[in-house]
Amino acid sequence: MCRRWRACCGAVGRFTAFRFTVDASPSQAVVLARHAGASRFAFNQCLALVKEALEAKRRGVPVVVPWSGFDLINAFNSWKCSARAGRRFVVDAAGSAEIVATGLSWRAQVCQQVCEEAAVDLGRALTAWADSRAGKRPGRRVGFPAFKRKARTRPSFRIRCKTTKAGRASIRVGDLTTGPRSVCLPRIGILRVREDTGRLRRMIRTGRAHIRYATVSCRAGRWTITVTVEAADLHPACQHPARPDADSSGDWVGADRGLAALVVAADTTGREVARVDDAPRPLRAALPRLRRLSRQVSRKQRGSRNRAEAVARLARVHLRVANVRRYFLHEVANRLVKTHDRLALEDLYTAGMLRNRRLAAAISDAGWADLARIIGYKQRWRGGQAAVAPRWYPSTRMCSACRAVGPALPLSVRVFRCGECGHTADRDVNAAVNLAVWAEQHHAQTRDPEVRGPVINASRGDGSGRRPRAGETSPDDGGTLPPRISVTAGTPEKGGVS
């Protein structure tokens, strides 16, 4: 099985990322900051060219507005070599002066892919704004792109991985010439990293992964490299066994997210299969230190070096809080995904629940949205399914025995008691059972939060066909269902707090 799997690993099927902390020297930190500044400059200049073209078009001047990433790259390349970007006066021996276009004087000091990727990012932002304005993009309305400020923008840039004719990649991870714990970037050189790159090197060496691009960013004074690769599917031993076509429902496990217990999972029979009540709650643990450092920042004079150092200390604590929370959420998601191939989650409206000033800190510290997102893509990797119940599904108020919906329960009540049949159960277990039952009944209509519609594992040329018209039979009324449904649990939306 292992040899056969390695032989067919040429077809990659998923994107994943590896993040490494850069152990940069002072000179390398200057080079990284220069590239981040070039990326910000290119984004702002491309946006200025777009606004200038829009203003000229508004005055009636026939001009083509650069809109896509390709057009923005061409516009920026033409501008950076023109006299508008840089010029100098040359005086000859006769005393006559001449203007010579030099363009950007520093453009040879940075990798040109940094500016190109910044133009691509602006093109995506413009497309998102246009689609949101035309009603083609779901969710909140996207505003017009704004200029990036140095003081408020996180230093970051992206470089694509190109392959030479000799087969040498421009981005190399831990090869023989650079060392095991290193990443080599074009025009930047070898960067030492603190983490081990052995797993990524093995995947690249065996052909199970191909580097697409690397993103370098700085947060809290610490530079990191995120290497995004297109990797092969997981080994069949790590994936869930395929279910027969006749097994269209069953074995669903509902996962209820809450504050007293981060996750409580139960199946349709009412059996509790998992409970996570030992969440670290890093924000609450670091709150005294955060308050002390915040007071130190407020006491420093604005613009002073002491204030900058105090802000850096505060940012490092916030970064540690985020890292501890992310690490624990990955552990919880792995525990659920490895043991259950069908999970049902609740569509929580986290943004609305954060308006409650008494629960906002606890909800933010729980990380419900990240947990749902991580479970979604890990289930896809392993061939499982993740269903998302509707926002207004009364999982907490419904009785898992008789399906009667009762009144809302306050948070202090941890035991559910049905007023119709007298069924008594733990509040979180009852909600998890209701989610599992809902997934069994409606798993064919589960939706992907990213596309806001039904999802099937079909190729691009196939699909679910046209929608039924009035009077026709829909899949809910006994029509043919797709053999396999796959849903990503992404954005958190509205629901109750457990």
Decide: 215 and 226 in contact? Cβ < 8 Å.
yes
Query: Distance (Å, rounded) from C-alpha 291 to C-alpha 293?
Result: 6
Give how far Cα 408 sits from Cα of 209, 335, 345, 405, 417, Å: 50, 31, 20, 9, 12
Note if 346 is an active site residue: yes
What value, to the nearest 5°, has the Cα angle with vertex 352 and ends 346 and 354? 100
Query: CB-side exposure of 180: number of CA atoms within 13 Å?
Result: 6
Count other Cβ atoms within 10 Å, centred on residue 447. Answer: 17
Catalytic residue among 117, 256, 267, 426: 256
Nearest to 490 by CA among 17, 123, 139, 16: 139
Q: Where are the alpha helices (DSSP H) in 163-240?
A: 198-205
The Cα 353–Cα 355 span in angstroms is 5
Is residue 481 packed enough to be buried (19+ CB in 10 Å), middle (13-18) or exposed (0-12)? middle
Distances (CA, A) of 77 to 52, 70, 115, 221: 16, 11, 9, 31
Phi/psi-derived region of residue 497, left when phi > 0, alpha when psi is between -120 and 50, beta in every other case: beta
Distance CA 257, CA 371 (A): 9
CA distance 467 to 470: 10
- Residue 432 β-bridge partners: none
Tokens found for residue 229: 């690769």
Q: Which two tokens stand for residue 172?
A: 């190399």
Query: Tokens representing 336?
Result: 């659920």
Question: Choosing from 341, 428, 440, 493, which is the catalytic residue?
Answer: 428
Cβ of 87: how many Cβ atoms within 10 Å?
Answer: 13
121 part of the active site: no
Query: For the chain, percent helix, then strand, then coil, each to nearest 5?
Result: 40, 20, 40
Spacing of C-alpha 37 from chain mean position: 23
Q: Which of 324, 371, 377 is nearest to 345 (CA)?
A: 371
User: What beta strand segments (E) does 50-93 contain?
Assistant: 87-91
- Per the annotation, the verdict on 23 as an active-site residue is no
Catalytic one among 116, 117, 121, 346? Answer: 346
Whole-angstrom distance, CA of residue 209 vs CA of residue 221: 30
Task: List, by residue number, the catalytic residues.
Answer: 256, 346, 428
